[in-house]
Amino acid sequence: MDYQERRRLDSLADEVFGKEVITLDDVRVVLDCIKQLAGDDEVAHSIEDQLHQAVLRMFANGVANASLAQTALLSLKIEFERWCA
């Protein structure tokens, strides 16, 4: 994958995270971005963390449901290295 495609996917995920309310379709878009970016562990992991945080914020604000969380957690099945410095 080239730099421009990586940037496009990263921007697409950022667009979702900029929304006040994230839908199930938004979560699916981000999951697709993570799948496509799985070859870049650092970027995939960063987007996964942002997805999980966004869904937690929605729960804290009372606008998320179990289906949204279950779908977001599917990111854990995507294979890439997860590590922290």
The domains of the chain are located at: 3-77
pLDDT of residue 84: 82
> Distance between CA atoms of 17 and 20, rounded to whole angstroms?
8
pTM of the model: 0.93
Percent of the chain with pLDDT over 90: 88
Tell me which residue of 40, 68, 43, 38 sits closest to 55, measured CA to CA.
68
The reported pLDDT for the residue numbered 85 is: 74
pLDDT tens track for 33-66: 999 999 999 999 999 999 999 999 999 999 888 9
> Tokens 């949204």 identify what position?
68
* Residue-averaged pLDDT of the chain: 94
Q: Measured between alpha carbons, how far is 2 from 49 in angstroms, rounded to an integer?
A: 23
Cβ atoms of 55 and 75 closer than 8 Å: no
Question: Does the structure show a pLDDT above 90 at 12?
Answer: yes
Cβ burial, residue 61 (10 Å; 0-12/13-18/19+): exposed
Q: What is the mean pLDDT of residues 75-79?
A: 98
Q: Where are the alpha helices (DSSP H) in 1-85?
A: 3-17, 24-36, 41-60, 66-72
